């Protein structure tokens, strides 16, 4: 069954909510990782934010699955990975080299 525009609108809403949750999750990581903050009010709030936003990564994985796995489109596994590797590998190699040179 083809997806309607409303279905994609719902996916977009889920995607931006998950993106917002990822930002909050990363912000909460700072006080959670400081040993001196352990048990403080800031640490407790960060722990609440961290726990409340743990759903965001599985939502991104599920959205990717919905958008990538189209039953109407027949594609071999080899072709599926080769198409994506051509786009992902150059960026991965570039940023790996960049951070290796940037780091201490």
Render pLDDT for 7-36 as a digit per residue (tens, 0 to 9). 788 888 999 999 999 999 988 888 888 777
Q: What is the pLDDT of residue 72?
A: 79
pLDDT band of 2, cuts 50, 70, 90: low
**Long-range contacts of residues 48-57, Cβ cutoff 8 Å, at least 24 apart:** 49/24, 49/25, 50/25, 53/21, 53/22, 53/24, 53/25, 53/28, 54/25, 55/18, 55/21, 56/18, 56/19, 56/21, 56/22, 56/25, 57/18, 57/22
Say yes or no to pLDDT of 1 above 60.
no
- To 10 degrees, what angle do helices 5-33 and 56-68 make? 150
Q: What pTM, to 2 d.p., does this model score?
A: 0.66
Render pLDDT for 33-79 as a digit per residue (tens, 0 to 9). 877 778 888 888 888 989 999 999 999 899 988 888 777 778 888 99
The residue extents of the domains of the chain are 1-72, 74-104
């Amino acid at each position: 069954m083809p997806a309607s525009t409303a279905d994609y609108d719902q996916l977009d809403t889920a995607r931006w909510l998950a993106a917002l949750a990822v930002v909050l999750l990363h912000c909460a990581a700072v006080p959670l990782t400081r040993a001196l903050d352990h048990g403080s009010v800031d640490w407790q709030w960060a722990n609440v934010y961290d726990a409340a936003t743990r759903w965001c990564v599985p939502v991104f994985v599920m959205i990717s699955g919905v958008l990538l796995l189209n039953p109407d489109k027949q594609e071999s596994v080899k072709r599926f990975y080769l198409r994506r590797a051509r786009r992902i590998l150059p960026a991965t190699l570039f940023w790996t080299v960049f951070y290796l040179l940037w780091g201490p």
